[in-house]
Every structure is written in structure tokens, then in C-alpha cells.
Chains A and B, each alone.
Chain A
């Protein structure tokens, strides 16, 4: 069994927020390079969740890249598996595998498939891609921890459009029934799905009220403010005895002026010139090149 340090808090570690910000910028740069090189991917959703992933992996999660299968680790399940570039970039940043491996993204026989595979990539906890799969798996994991009296926690990141899948609501009801206060669902609320705005497709609002009505504690935060995200994660569970939903208000393509909040960048691939321009914008975003 592995011993994890107590998670750092803003008071304890000076400069932590700047460090998380630097990581987020690195994740954005790597994601864009990966999508550009593969000529495939989902850059809009990669960039909307970069700050959430950076906050989780560099401030919240008790995981150790040297022992990726340790039974007492916290679990993070990436339900929005199409944002695999951001997930792989995060895991590489965290040291689960070499950064150079990111160059193989979606190349023939690469371990880095277009959607994550737990049997190929250390640090990946669930095979996702079809939507609405992560939350049920997370409920099972959190339930197992409860059965064992274990203190590890389960986090799951879903897209917002993904919540149109009914399987999520089966899991949301079950988590509340089982009192899984060791489970946190983060919704990447970027308001856009593949073809249009969520509210113009099948509306999700009032989203926080819906989660509350299903028995969850809900916190709404700016999903690009790492201090606000960390404050929410440091105060879990939001309501004693209940699972927590963190609705992270985000923008698809966050950080790149010509990608941000544009529906067509769900799976558009940047040209050479667009990649160069995007990387120039990100260099000013707290990240050194």
C-alpha cells in the first residue's frame, strides 16, 4: 500500500496556482500539436478541460505515476474520451509515460488511440469514447471503496452535451441512493456540442437544479480559474453524505482567440499557420516555451 502526502492547499504551497497554470498551458500546447500532427482530434473539448485536468492532476488527486495501479490511489475517469489529447498530455506531464510518446498520438500501432485504453496507457482508468459510460463506472468504483471502508476518492469528468445520454441519469440516481460522498462528477460546461449549442439541441438548463433534484450537492465554478476549481475540490463533499457535482463553466477552445467558443472547432484540425499562431498565443499564457 502506498502512502500519499496530504494534498497541498493554497495556503501551504506558495505559487501552486501559477504552477497549475503552467501545466494547463503545456497541456493546451501539447494537445494542439497532437491534433495537428494526427490530422484528427477534438481540440475544442481538449482546451475547455485543460484547466480542470491540470487542477486535478497537479493539486487534487492522490496518484503516483510510479505506482499507477496502487489500490489506494484516487481514481480519475475521463468520460469525455474524445478529449484524449488533453488526457494523454496531462498524464505525460504528470510523468505516467514519457512526453515524447505524445508524438505517436493516433499513429499506426500507437498506444495512444483516439480514445483512451486503460490496458495500454498507464494512468488511464477507463476505456471511454462512446458517451455516458464514465459515470456508471465511477459509481461502481466509489461503491467498491465504500464496501472496503477505503478512503480513496473517485472523480469523473463528463462533457455537457454528453449528459443527453440517459445512462448518466441512471448513474446519477444510483450515486445519490447509495450516498456516495466519495464521488465527484465534474461537468465541462462549455455549452457546445458537436453540431450546435447544447441549449439549441436538447437543453440541459437548469443543470444545477437537475443535479440537486437528483440528490447531489452542486458547486458552480469558473472552470478556467484554477483557484476556484481548487477551492471546490478542497471542500468536498459539497453536502455531507452526498455525491458532489462541480459544474465547471468553460469555453470550448479556451486560450486561443480564433478557436474559443466556436462550434466548428469541435473536431477541426489546425493548419500549420493556425498551429503556429495558437502556440504564440499560448506562450503568453504563463507557459515558457
Chain B
């Protein structure tokens, strides 16, 4: 695989390109200009960078007000604070009100590993995806990040973009075209499908390679849009055989649950859900925690192998 990159670079470049083309695009931060990689945006468009200070509720409310007057705000903050502290504002001011705001949850998942569970954002997919009118997107690499930023700006309505600071390799083939609501089958396979999103896509692809050696043919589906979910791709996966979901999130209510909802109401198959098993994570780097919870190529391989042998 290619060298790894921080998707915040692609995020910032895409946002600046959008702002150059469209005066309505503004960035809104809560003392998060640096952590959201918005310094260059601020230098280029100082009048279109709003910093509301350490105030996530106000971040979302102000963004709703900006949208009500025709702006396209990208509200950027650490995902743990953005989604938890401002959850009612997300529900009422954005989703229920249908305000055209793009929430950018930075450093999501386990990215802030050592900082502890206060800073882990492993509930955000569950919270965001159960709210009506929300679109929830988790890009897996720089190319998909840039395309997701553009797609979010192009559509009318609230979008949650879950972004990471963990370096990731390119996982998509050249010419990949992201579409909201469309999962990408990155690898064909006959025996089992690994469904992942964001930082777990690359280890899922590696796991599929390892499974070849076990005589197991694994498909890999990048479910970058969690809502609206690509039901067709999930039913197709269930038709092939069992499914392993891999998420940098609690196993309750996130990607695995979303896949299971589609599976049990269409073509029930056995599943294994990998993620954080309903606990607050211990201390350690993001890399350590991903390994601790089995979200590694070896961990995914083991889960898939046992699932296939049980089925």
C-alpha cells in the first residue's frame, strides 16, 4: 500500500478549493482552528472563518443561523465534543430544522488514544445516525475525504463528516468516485465480507490478503456512508455469506448495528461485530488501542476465519 497521510490535509485543501469557488462556504471553529487544520483557510479567507471560542453548543447554533441566511458552514471541532456537547443543537437546529450545515467531527474514534475516554469519540456514529435527516459519512483515505467534502457541500442538508487524524494509506483504485449513500466493494470475495469504514478499511483489506492464505476468499466493502445506508450492497454481501463488521467505535449502535439492521430485515446471515465492546478504553496510543480491541489485520483475520468455520 501507499505511504500514509493525515486526511485533515486533504480536508483542508478541499475546503479551501470550495471556498475559492463559492462565497457561501464558511468555516466555523470552536477554538479548533489548529486541530481542524484550518490555519491556511483562515489566512486565505479571514472574513469567512468564524471562531466562537470554546462553546460547542454555540458552534452548532451559530452555524444553523449562518445557514438560515444562505451560508454553507463547515462546523469543525473535535468529534467527542462536537457530537456529545451539542447533541440537542444537532438534533433541533440542524436535523429537525433542515439547516444546510456540514459538521466535521475531527480526531474521531480512538485518535486521541492516550488522552483517555473523555476524548475518545466512539459513540458519535450511533448518536448521529439515529437522528432523522442526517447524512453520516466516514471517509477512508485522502481521496475519499476530498470527495466527501465536495459531496457534502453539493447536497442540501445537514451532513456529519467523521474525520480522523490517524495516518491512512490510499485504499481506493485510481478513478474512484465517491457517492453519498453508495458503498464501494474494494475487493471481491466468495466466502465472507468484511465491512469497514474510515481507518478500519486498510486493516480489513490487509486481513483479506491474510485470509487468502487460509483458503478463505474475503470481500471488502467500504461502507463510507453510514446513513443513508447502501442496503443493496449489504444484501449482496449477505447473499455471499457471513459478514464481519469492523469499526473504530463501540459495537453498540454504530456501523455494525447499521449493517445488522439491513441484514436481519433482508437476508439474515451470521455476523461478527468488531469494535470497542461497550467499555471505556484503557490508556494507550491509538495504535495500541486498535490492537487491544482486535482492529488489526490479524484480529480481523481471526474473527473472519472462526466465523466462516462456524457457518
Q: Please list the residues of chain A having a beta carbon within 8 angstroms of any beta carbon in chain B.
A: 71, 75, 117-119, 125-130, 132-133, 135-145, 147-148, 166-167, 170-171, 173-174, 177-178
Instruction: Provide the bound-state CA to CA distance between A254 and B152, in Å.
Output: 48
B118 CB, min distance to chain A CBs, angstroms: 19
Asked if B9 is an interface residue, CB under 8 A from chain A, the answer is no
Whole-angstrom distance between the alpha carbons of A141 and B68 in the complex?
7
Q: Most A CB atoms within 10 A — which of B48, B61, B98?
A: B61
Q: What are 6 A-B interface contacts by the 8 Å CB criterion? A: A126-B64, A129-B92, A137-B65, A137-B68, A141-B68, A173-B55
Check if A71 sits within 8 Å of B70, measured CB to CB. yes
| Inter-chain contacts of A135 with B (CB < 8 A) | 61
B67 at the interface (CB under 8 A from A): yes
Taking a contact as CB atoms under 8 Å apart, the answer to whether B62 and A147 are in contact is no
Interface contacts beyond A71-B69, A125-B68: sample of 6 additional A-B pairs, CB < 8 Å, sorted by A: A136-B57, A137-B68, A139-B61, A139-B65, A140-B68, A141-B69
Contact of B96 with A by CB under 8 A: yes
Q: Contact at B48–A147, with CB atoms within 8 Å?
A: yes
Contact of A144 among B58, B61, B66, B89 (CB under 8 A): B66
Q: Say which residue of A139, A147, A171 sits within 8 Å of B26 (CB atoms).
A: A147
Tell me, in angstroms, the Cα distance from A133 to B89 when the chains sit together. 7
> How far is B70's CA from A136's CA once the two chains are assembled, in angstroms?
16
Contact B69 A140 (CB under 8 A): yes
Assess the A119–B97 pair: CB atoms within 8 A: yes
CB distance from A160 to the nearest CB of B (A): 19
Partner of B62, one of A118, A140, A145: A140
Instruction: For B93, list chain A residues within 8 Å (CB).
Output: 126-127, 133, 136-137
Contact B89 A126 (CB under 8 A): no
CB atoms of B97 and A138 under 8 A apart: no
B278 at the interface (CB under 8 A from A): no
User: Smallest CB-CB separation from A138: which chain B residue?
Assistant: B65
Residue B53 at the chain A interface, CB threshold 8 Å: yes
Contact B61 A167 (CB under 8 A): yes
A170 x B68 contact (CB < 8 A): no
Give B contacts to A, CB under 8 Å: 26, 47-48, 50, 52-53, 55, 57-58, 60-71, 73, 88-89, 92-93, 96-98
Chain B residues with Cβ below 8 Å from A133 are 61, 88-89, 92-93
Smallest CB gap from A165: residue in B: B57
Residues of the A chain whose Cβ atoms lie less than 8 Å from the Cβ of B64: 126, 136-137, 140
Considering the complex, give the chain A residue whose CB is closest to the CB of B57.
A167
Name the residue on B nearest A167 (C-beta): B57
Chain B min CB distance to A102 (Å): 23
CB atoms of A170 and B69 under 8 A apart: no
Across-interface contacts of A118 in B (CB, < 8 A): 97
A146 nearest in chain B by CB position: B47
- Please tell me if the beta carbons of A127 and B69 are within 8 angstroms of each other in the complex: no
Bound-state CA distance A53–B60 (Å) is 27
> Quick one: closest A residue to B86, CB to CB?
A167
In contact, B88 and A130 (Cβ under 8 angstroms)? yes
Q: Across the interface, which residues of B come within 8 angstroms of A132, CB to CB?
A: 57
Q: B residues within 8 A CB of A140?
A: 61-69, 73
* Cross-chain contact of A136 among B58, B73, B96 (Cβ < 8 A): B58
* Chain A residues closer than 8 Å to B68, beta-carbon distance: 75, 125-126, 137, 140-141, 144
Measured CA separation A139–B58 after assembly (Å): 9
Minimum C-beta distance from B169 to chain A (A): 38
A119 vs B100: C-alpha distance when bound (angstroms)? 13
- Assembled-state Cα–Cα distance A251/B86 (Å): 33
Residues of B with C-beta under 8 A to A142: 65
Cα–Cα, bound, A137→B88 (Å): 13
- Contacts A119-B98, A136-B89; is A143 near B66 (CB within 8 Å)? yes
Q: Are B52 and A144 in contact (CB under 8 A)?
A: no
Instruction: State A135–B65 Cα separation when bound (angstroms).
Output: 9
Instruction: Identify the interface centre among A135, A141, A148: most chain B CB within 10 Å of its CB.
Output: A141
B61 CB to closest chain A CB, in angstroms? 2
* Contacting residues, chain B, for A139 (C-beta < 8 A): 58, 61-62, 65
The 6 closest A-B pairs by CB, nearest first: A140-B65, A136-B61, A144-B69, A170-B58, A170-B55, A140-B62
Q: Is the CB of B65 within 8 A of A144?
A: yes
Q: Please indicate the chain A residues that have their CB under 8 angstroms from the CB of B52 in the complex.
A: 170, 174
In the complex, which residues of chain A have a beta carbon less than 8 angstroms from the beta carbon of B65? 136-144
Q: Look across to chain B and name the residue whose beta carbon is closest to the beta carbon of A128.
A: B92
- Best-surrounded residue of B69, B71, B89, B97 (most CB of chain A within 10 A): B69
